[in-house]
Structure 1
Amino acid sequence: MRLFLLLFLGVSLSLSAQDKIGIVKHNHLALQVKDIQASAKFYGDFLGLERIEVPADLKAIRAWFKIGTDQQIHLLAGRTEPVVNDRNGSHFAVFVESMEKAEAYLKARNYPYHAQVRFDGVKQIYIPDPDGYLVELNEMKK
């Protein structure tokens, strides 16, 4: 029994010491959308994300956008079912320069949003994209 426990412990320690998958950072988020043009207009024109060139044979069914320095959003045509969400459900979050500026931008355009203060004092704003995916805007904690 003692030998079994020593062998089990040795194998367990050996396995836990092995490297995991080795993820180093986030690359992109892919969202399936109903109308690629409407969604591209929202992410590009409304949110102001920089568009990334898509291979020519994919332009009709894809739109890619840069977020920050090295992350992306990939829009994929083909959604047929509605996205069902609420502000406590699935969403992705991005940092903005100024929450006041972001909220003023939304108000000036009568764009629907929900604002709240997180438990640690950070203000959050949730906005729906054309498909109903929720985008959380928040300011880096000072």
Structure 2
Amino acid sequence: MISIDRVDHLVLTVADVDRAVEFYRDVLGMEPVEFPGERRAVRFGDQTIKLHASAELVEPTATHPVPGSANLCFVTSRPLSDVQEHLRTSEVRIEEGPVGRTGSRGPITSLYLRDPDGNLIEIARYDDEA
């Protein structure tokens, strides 16, 4: 049996890499990074989201890579009221929330929004940190 320790990176297929980088940088505060071969990504903490343009996929790839097919949850230590205000000033529509959910380590309160490709983005805060 193998043992997985953590997630290193995820890959999102996007319609427009520049637009995706701008969203994840300006709205979610992630750091843009570049890799050899003009590949681009955003980083937060020890994790990276690699951004692959749907018109220029990097092999190997998922069986059906299409923009807007992901559902991602990010955890924040900021009060969700601060997140809501930032989203409002960034003109990002909140799809749902705040609502109670269950995260991998227990109860969370979440806000849902969409990135420019329509991926569902959940921003959550653990209830015991509130």
TM-score of the superposed pair, with normalisation by structure 1: 0.70
Query: Which amino acid in 2 is paired with 1:92?
Result: L
Matched residue, 1:140: 126
Runs of at least 5 residues in structure 1 that lack an aligned partner in the other structure: 1-19, 85-89
Query: Which amino acid in 2 is paired with 1:32?
Result: T
Structure 1 runs (4+) greater than 6 angstroms displaced: none
Matched residue, 1:63: 40
- Tell me which of 73, 88, 97 is aligned to 1:93: 73
Instruction: State how far apart, in whole Å, the 2-side matches of 1:36 and 1:66 are.
Output: 14
Alpha-carbon distance, 1:64 to partner: 1.2
Deviation by residue 1:71-121 (Cα, 9 ceiling, x = unmatched): 11111111695536xxxxx51111122211100111223311121321566
Instruction: State how far apart, in whole Å, the 2-side matches of 1:95 and 1:119 are.
Output: 12
Assess, with a 3 A threshold, how the Cα gap between structure 1 residues 116 and 65 changes in structure 2: closer, same or farther: same
Q: Secondary structure at the match of 1:25?
A: coil
Instruction: State how far apart, in whole Å, the 1-side matches of 2:109 and 2:126 are.
Output: 9
Larger Rg: 1
- Tell me which of 73, 76, 98 is aligned to 1:116: 98
Q: State the number of aligned residues.
A: 113
1:75 aligned to 2:55?
Answer: no
Matched residue, 1:131: 117
TM-score of the superposed pair, with normalisation by structure 2: 0.75
More helix, by proportion: 1
